[in-house]
Amino acid sequence: MTETVASDRTGRADATRLIQRGAVEWVIAALLALLLLRLLWSLMRNENLLPGAVVGYLLHPDVLAGVWLTIRLTVLVFAAAWAIGLVATWMERSGNPVLGGIAAAYVWVFGSIPVLVQLLLWSNIALIFPDITFGIPGVHIDAVRLVTPVYAAIAGLALATGAYAAKALPGGDRLTALGDLLVTTLQVTSLVSVLSITDLLGVVRALEERNHLIIPLLVVAAIWYLVLVTAARGAIRLARLARVTG
């Protein structure tokens, strides 16, 4: 009898704690929702954002061209990085100490140096190797003409994200790794603007210099990146759902 009464009291105490915790969570949720609404209202009424300019530039031809270049860069770099990651993973798992050592060194170097630094190094590779010969007699490649900003960007991003792919592939869900790599690639393409490439951010920066609408144009870039990343994640979710239902 005593044990039954104690059990009932414990159950009521647990239920009371759950109710109290639920009430506290709802209060916190309400406060956060009010703060968010207040922030959104302030943004909508903030004249410095120039919402008219934001709307006007969302579908500006230059901005759309930058979006298209960003998409193409993402696809090219993503495919190259995935291939590099697969090769590096195979080398690590081959059991050959030389191949494994090379793969580990690649992941260590290109996975440690910041992507921006790698892009700058590749864009200036002609200062180190002005004439690329690969040690083959009669082969002379002019690096100044060959390594354009776009090629430097593709090489730098592919090698950097390839190291990320090599670390993400072993022992995990490949579809999840694929999605993470796609989103990461899309985000890091914004760095190519430092090479004067007219991707989405590059176009926005060029427009800023002409009309000085810094905040509205940055908002335009942010909106487009939200759209692109959301679309990429949505595509991966659909692929995952298709795999489960299939």
Judged against a pLDDT cut of 60, whether residue 7 lies above it is answered with no
**Mean pLDDT over each residue of the chain, to the nearest integer:** 84
170 versus 66: which is more confidently predicted? 66
> What's the pLDDT score for residue 139?
66
φ, ψ (nearest 5 deg) of residue 142: -75, 105
> What's the pLDDT score for residue 95?
86
113 versus 16: which is more confidently predicted? 113
170: phi > 0 → left, psi -120 to 50 → alpha, else beta; which?
beta
Judged against a pLDDT cut of 70, whether residue 1 lies above it is answered with no
Report which secondary-structure segment, H or E, holds 141. strand 141-142
Long-range contacts of 91-98 (CB under 8 A, 24+ apart): 92/166, 92/170, 93/170
Judged against a pLDDT cut of 80, whether residue 172 lies above it is answered with no
Nearest one of 197, 227, 211, 191 to 57, comparing CA atoms: 211
- Do residues 176 and 104 make contact, with C-beta atoms less than 8 angstroms apart? no
> What's the pLDDT score for residue 238?
86
> What's the pLDDT score for residue 133?
67
| pLDDT tens per residue across span 16-51 | 666 667 777 878 888 899 998 888 777 667 776 777
What sign does the dihedral 73-68-71-75 (CA atoms) show?
negative
> What's the pLDDT score for residue 69?
96
Instruction: Give, as one character, the DSSP assignment of residue 131.
Output: E
63 versus 22: which is more confidently predicted? 63
User: pTM higher than 0.85 for the full model?
Assistant: no
Q: Which residues, other chains included, contact 175 with Cβ-Cβ below 8 Å and sequence gap of 6+? A: 236, 239, 240, 243
Judged against a pLDDT cut of 60, whether residue 5 lies above it is answered with no
133 versus 155: which is more confidently predicted? 155
Instruction: Give, as one character, the DSSP assignment of residue 128.
Output: T
Q: For the residues 78-89, what does the mean pLDDT come to? A: 93
**CA-to-CA distance for 148 and 174, rounded, in angstroms?**
33
